[in-house]
Amino acid sequence: MTKNLVIVESPAKAKTIEKFLGSDFTVKSCFGHIRDLDKGDDAIKISDNFKPTYIVPSDKKSVVAELKNLAKNSETVWLASDEDREGEAISWHLSEVLGLNAKNSKRIVFHEITKPAILKAIENPREIDKNLVDAQQARRLLDRIVGFELSPVLWKKVKPALSAGRVQSVAVRLIVERERQITDFVTKSAYKIVAEFEFNNKKFNAELPERFDKREDAIKFLESCKNSEFIVESVEIKPGTKKPSAPFTTSTLQQEASRKLGFSVSQTMTLAQKLYEEGHITYMRTDSVNLSELAISAAKSEIVNNYGEKYSKPRRYQTKSNSAQEAHEAIRPTYFEKQTAGADAQQKKLYDLIWKRTIASQMSEAEIERTEVKIKISNNGKILLTIGEVIKFDGFLKVYLEDKDETSVEDESQLSVLPAMKKGDILKNLLITATQRFTKPQPRYTEASLVKDMEELGIGRPSTYAPTITTILKRGYVEKESREGIKRNYEIIKLKDNIISDEIKTEITGAEKNKLFPTDIGTVVTDYLLKNFIQIMDYNFTANVEKEFDEIAQGMIEWTKMLNEFYHPFHNLIDSTMKISEKVTGERDLGIHPITKQPVFAKIGRFGPMIQVGDGTDEIKPVFARLKKGQSIEKITLDEALELFELPRTLDEFEQKPIKVGVGRFGPYIQHNNKFYSLAKTDDPYQISYERAIELINEKRKAEAEKVILVLPENISVLNGRYGPYITQNKENYKIPKGIEPKSLTLEQCLKIIEEAKNNSTPKKTFYKKSKK
């Protein structure tokens, strides 16, 4: 009989904790949630006060059976899942399914996986916090209700197989609105004046604070500078300081890992999870910036040992968010003396970021001397300004400096060191330029900047940022892309040696790297939801729901009451919208076809965005074309739309058969001898060459020849697939068990594998539907 059974979520976490506990403890993993809402019609019994029906999924039944057996033969079961609401719910489900009670089970929590933390948790157990469980249940049920009642409306009114969600739809709204701001933005140009000087053999620049909208005004200014003296009007030296940023929360870690390391939000969370489970960092889902007294003391010791007493300045940061009660600390290293940790290069980079940010937060301010010099132009009385900066004491900058997001304003934070000057000094002017600069719209969202805005608006919580972004990308409402910019000319007018000259230069504008773009489907769905379900799409409503979850977690309100107040008005709105709202396609009239004189439309069709020529009102049958990647129904022009009908096109003959290129339901393709060959993502169907088409045909022929391993009677084949060899019969595929050589399979062995697979398969269940009254 086992004396103590400790249950955690993951094998990695179990392995780490097992090192700290003696032989009286057995540590096992439940592999996350062991129960979830039923996918059937009775998942949520609305009429029975929102009573949920939970089931153990088939892939968790063996795990539950093992844990039940171990729990039955243990004196005490320690439920050691994560300390947040999701972790509390896992412990509650374990308690319910394993039949545990207060006598034979204990709940323990810790925010770091270290021996002192684990032993302290064992010494201070508590009961399961039902308020936290109820908050998790409320979120799970509300999101199920919203998604499963709203999605069928979209199937009927927009397009089949769409989905909506309380948080995901609002996140998509942010991206759609930003894209429209960019589309509607009118770029304006102005001339920026920069003068280059030399004084005491040192060169530096100064700038005119104003800009000229008109070219002639810029030239007029340069003309007035001819034969001028440039005299120092004033020199002002100001001491200043820079303070370090607070330690990481989930949101700030995701943002900084994106800016500094190029990690996606989900990648950051995966790496942080591994570092946490290995005992290297504290719990990674938190909106707290607090550090424990022990952590502050350990950081001070590390700073003093490495950099000296002068660099140490312990700080206690205050968390602004009211929802941060559950998370005890910011994300920090568990052992500050460990400057490197992680199993691979990416984990090590993220750990290094966390270590430096935390250490910097406990270091002295950087001391800066800022010099501001005003320079008067004798002929026109205008004042040029230059600012220099000298770091007198680096402080926390010795370790870490936070990066900034891209903005619509030019970044001029790179300040140079100026030569020593005093009032009355006459400076040597080398050059004055008037450079044409253009205004920029707000930048498109990156994953990190989206998380930042979601946090500021109160949309979601640390545990939901990454899953929300993953969902909207997976469901095709948003695309993450890099796009090439376009060339743009700009003018530089120069005054040098009292001679004015100008030149035209070229720059790339509009280039994007790993930015979030709304798809046409995402845009149309957003517009429909905003028109018919403004409450669900309202930023304040979404934030208020999160606050209500927080209040449930604190025991301030009852969770079923909150659901009841939301559900009935929402359900009535669903019913009325289903009856009265019209089907939408985002249709946009582009104009008239120059030859057929038929109307041309851009809209959402059954299989996605498309162009339609003809409305079917006469004898001419409408024709359709799919949009190219990067095109949208909101922006495409008539000329661009007509180009799409240049397909299919014939290249030439190959093996006495013509090669045709077209775009079909599943994307661009080559057709040859009644066979179809998909184009690679890098191939453009409008530009693909004859030689490239033959190359693709031969590549597929070779792959198909290598695909067949065996052909057996009874319509059975053994094939090479994407994930390895498999058996196929009558269009059904079957996995080959490990240890069996595919080439050696007999007909009898294949039939046995197929029969066993059929016997072990489980029937598919339907999704939750609203119960009929």
Beta strand 667-672 with 675-678: parallel, antiparallel or unpaired? Answer: antiparallel
Separation CA 337–CA 522 (nearest Å): 48
Place of tokens 């600012």: 387
Q: How far apart are CA 322 and CA 446, in angstroms?
A: 26
Contacts of 54-63 with C-beta under 8 Å, sequence gap 24+, read 54/93, 54/96, 56/97, 58/762, 60/31, 60/33, 60/34, 60/35, 63/30, 63/31, 63/34
Token match 């540590």: residue? Answer: 27
d(CA 431, CA 445): 39
- Per residue, the 3-state secondary structure of 348-409, as one string, reads HHHHHHHHHHHHHHCECCEEEEEEEEEEEECCCCCEEEEEEEEEEECHHHHCCCCCCCCCCC
Residues 481, 482, 486: CA angle, nearest 5 degrees: 130
Q: How far apart are CA 197 and CA 229, in angstroms?
A: 12
Region of residue 186 (left: phi > 0; alpha: psi -120 to 50; beta: else): beta
Partner residues linked to 726 by β-bridges: 719, 735
Are 353 and 341 in contact, with CB atoms under 8 Å apart?
no
Rounded-to-5 percentages of helix, strand, coil across the chain: 35, 25, 35
d(CA 710, CA 732): 16
Q: Tell me, what amino acid is at 133?
A: V
Question: How does strand 499-509 pair with strand 486-496?
Answer: antiparallel
CA 330 and chain centroid, separation? 21
- Catalytic entry in 191, 283, 400, 528: 283
Q: How far apart are CA 376 and CA 229, in angstroms?
A: 8
- How many Cα atoms occupy the beta-carbon half-sphere of 434 within 13 Å? 23
Of 323, 359, 112, nearest to 246 (Cα)? 359
Q: Which residues contact 36 (CB under 8 A, 6 or more apart)?
A: 54, 55, 57
Alpha helices (H) in 629-768, listed in sequence order: 638-643, 690-707, 747-760
- Catalytic status, residue 283: yes
The Cα-based distances of 221 to 210, 230, 428 in angstroms read 11, 14, 18
Instruction: Give me the DSSP letters along 457-489.
Output: HT-S-TTTHHHHHHHHHHTTSEEEEEE--EEEE
Tokens at 244, concatenated = 């370090």
The closest of 313, 327, 172 to 248, measured between CA atoms, is 327
Which residue in 362, 288, 360 sits closest to 327, CA to CA?
Answer: 288
Residues classed as catalytic:
283
